Homo-oligomer: A and B are copies of this chain.
Amino acid sequence: MSDPVVTAFNVRDLRWPTSLQNIGSDPMNLAGENALGYLELHTDSGIKGVGWSFSNGQGNDVLCTAVRSLAPRLVGRKLSDWTKDMAATQRKFQSGQIRFMSPERGVLQLATCAVLNAIWDLWAKSESKPLWRLVADFTPEQFIKCIDFRYLTDALTPEGALSMLKNRAKNKEDRLKLALQSKAVPAYNTSVGWLGMSDLEVKQKLTEATQAGFKHFKLKAGLGIETDRKRLGMVREVAGPEAVLMVDVNQIWDVDEAIEYMPKLADLNLWFIEEPTSPDDVLGHAKIRKALKPHGIGVATGEHVNNRVMFKQLLQAEVKCIACHKPTFFR
């Protein structure tokens, strides 16, 4: 493997006028402009490390400023200065003076992700592997060394996580083999159901998606029972009764609204409701999950404010992964 030195970086404020076709529209955000705070690390060996975080348009300039404020410390350093202890690297970016700005939240969390992902990208390229392969080839010990356990040790210690990984190693090998054989990993399609789409557009995209082999679909919802039932009904019609359906309302409800609304869609056999309320509301999500369980509807969260400590909360509030029914923390 090579050990490139970062010689320079550049940050791009990339935006797409997605609102023109209502792509990405959701109940919280009827006209989003997909955008990226995009970071490129240039190195003396010619390979380029790329990392970025997504936004819905407004505030992308703030995100880029945050990335520009963090990236300079990479310049002039060897890749191995960071990769020899990725846990310490992550912690370095989230400690000290910056702690006062909540670096594990919002803008600074997104900016830190762009920087750390650029380092991971550089690491994989320096070993001429795709990132998934780099990580899959880690020994359990190497994997654990990449995790910062600060604030987690009352729920999970490095030793505990290590033995957990070792116990799971065999299953992991099987899953890996399967993935390598099928040259594919399970995925769901969420681009068939943006709110701004006409029924015709939804049907067209659905047909394309089912022909492409998708069996799992996630639709935006929360625009009223009738509208939701109509759109979800179309998916059943085109994708068939075996199709697995999920809905996402992007935080628009209060806790009790979610508990009142969702049972009215229960007969449509939905796998889960994503982000029914504020992502901060761990106990609210637990309450919603408990109320919807008898209706066979799970709860998904974690797209926003998905930091390590919040996931520990989900574990301790006994919010389980809707797929494996293990605490989301271990998902």
Chain A residues within 8 Å of B, Cβ to Cβ: 28-29, 31-33, 54-59, 61-63, 65-66, 69, 95-111, 150-154, 250-251, 254-256, 277-284, 287, 304-305, 307, 309-310, 312-313, 316-317
Contact = CB atoms under 8 A, between A and B. Distances in A.
A66 B107 contact: yes
Contacts of A63: 101
B256 A153 contact: yes
A67 to B, nearest CB: 10
| 6 closest Cβ pairs, A-B complex | A102-B106, A58-B97, A154-B255, A106-B106, A280-B309, A105-B105
5 contacts: A54-B100, A56-B98, A101-B110, A102-B109, A283-B313
Nearest to A155: B255
Contacts of A111: 62
A154 B101 contact: no
A96 B103 CA distance: 22
A97 B32 contact: yes
A129 to B, nearest CB: 31
Contacts of A110: 101
Given A150-B254, A151-B254, A254-B152, A305 B102 contact: yes
A151 B309 contact: no
A279 to B, nearest CB: 8
A312 to B, nearest CB: 7
A114 B201 CA distance: 43
Contacts of A31: 97
Nearest to A288: B154
B103 A151 contact: no
Given A62-B69, A106-B105, A256-B153, A100 B281 contact: no
Contacts of A287: 154
Given A59-B97, A95-B28, A280 B104 contact: yes
A58 B98 contact: yes
A55 to B, nearest CB: 5
Given A97-B59, A101-B107, A282 B313 contact: yes
Given A100-B55, A254-B150, A313-B283, A109 B108 contact: no
Nearest to A110: B101
Given A29-B100, A62-B66, 4 more contacts: A59-B103, A61-B69, A102-B304, A282-B283
